[in-house]
Amino acid sequence: MVTTPHWIELDGVVNMRDVGGLPTTDGGTVATGRLLRSDNLQDLSAADIEALERLGVTDVVDLRSNVELTLEGPGPLHERALTHHHHSLFRDDVREVSAEDALVLPWSKQDQAEADAQPRLDDDYWASHYLGYLAHRPDSVSAALQVVARSEGATIVHCAAGKDRTGTVVGLALAVAGVSDDDVVADYVATGERIERIVARLMTRPAYGEVLKDQPLDHHQPRPETMRRILEVLAERHGGAAGWLVEQGWTDAEVDALRASLRA
């Protein structure tokens, strides 16, 4: 069973949705008003922010890099009494970015020799990319999920497009909640319904326009086999998403708390 995505229509985003309503394998459902996923929040209007406050948003997890934050700024939600958590998934961001560093985004660096020296974790480019988040920034993935588990209200998890970094964190959260692989995959690929609008919006932003202008739209289309491969690797190597969290130092009680926080 796959549910229709719960899109949240705001003026300042194009890829925000509530993952609530997804079925779990034991007959339950994911709670609404607990976990929202989104693209860049830079363009939220005052009316958008009021709408999010009415939805009960208390926490924002920003997965963007230090470079993106330097170029784009923290966004208008920082003016409100929400709790903000910055957990970059880029390996370079274990240190603070300098003004010089901000001139080059992590994904636009041309040091091919360094890139070639990094082991590929999977033949699928995007699957390898996402597995790299887990391998190189498990601290950030773990911390982001701790926010979801402990939040008193709804948590927004976002990056730039709301597809790759957000998709990885949300995919793990849904897997821990007991959502089937098929439905985790379906949630991931739902972003494809709006990929043209997502890319068009990012093209207008200074941090992304130059990088995106020569990339075909199909390059950004989320493919089901990508998320399916992530879930397979988690199962094969770690016994699933919950097992991966335990390997990062989570207790069984903390895993249970994350699961409970996401269940209706």
The separation between CA 50 and the C-alpha centre of its own chain, rounded to angstroms, equals: 23
CA angle 259, 189, 168 (to 5 degrees): 45
- Residue 192: its pLDDT value, please? 96
The pLDDT > 90 percentage for the chain reads 70
Whether residue 112 is predicted with pLDDT greater than 50 in this model: the reply is no
Q: CA–CA separation, 64 vs 170, rounded Å?
A: 15
Tens digit of each residue's pLDDT (9 = 90 or more) over 193-228: 999 999 999 998 888 887 788 888 888 899 999 999
Direct distance between the N- and C-terminal alpha carbons of the chain, in angstroms, rounded to an integer: 17
Domains by residue range for the chain, with CATH: 6-94+117-262 (3.90.190.10)
**Residue 114: which pLDDT band, with cuts at 50, 70 and 90?**
very low
- Residue 60: its pLDDT value, please? 97
Whether residue 187 is predicted with pLDDT greater than 70 in this model: the reply is yes
Q: CA–CA separation, 210 vs 219, rounded Å?
A: 16
**Residue 159: which pLDDT band, with cuts at 50, 70 and 90?**
very high
Three-state secondary structure readout of the chain? CCCCCEECCCCCCCCCEECCCCEECCCCEECCCCEEEECCCCCCCHHHHHHHHHCCEEEEEECCCHHHHHHHCCCHHHHCCCEEEECCCCHHHHCCCCCCHHHCCHHHCCCHHHHHHCCCCCCCHHHHHHHHHHHHCHHHHHHHHHHHHHCCCEEEEECCCCCCHHHHHHHHHHHHHCECHHHHHHHHHHHHHHHHHHHHHHHCCCCCHHHHCCCCHHHHCCCHHHHHHHHHHHHHHHCCHHHHHHHCCCCHHHHHHHHHHHEC
Contact assessment for residue 106 and residue 92, using Cβ atoms and an 8 Å cutoff = yes
φ/ψ region of 22 (left if φ > 0, alpha if ψ in -120 to 50, else beta) reads beta
- What is the pLDDT of the chain when averaged over all its residues? 88
Whether residue 128 is predicted with pLDDT greater than 80 in this model: the reply is yes
- Residue 1: its pLDDT value, please? 52
Residue 258 in tokens: 């994350």
Report the interhelical angle of 252-262 vs 138-150 (nearest 10°). 60
What is the dihedral sign for C-alpha 85, 141, 127, 104? positive
Q: CA–CA separation, 220 vs 226, rounded Å?
A: 12
Residue 215 in tokens: 């990339």
More confident of the two residues 103 and 83: 83
Q: CA–CA separation, 48 vs 158, rounded Å?
A: 15
- Residue 17: its pLDDT value, please? 98
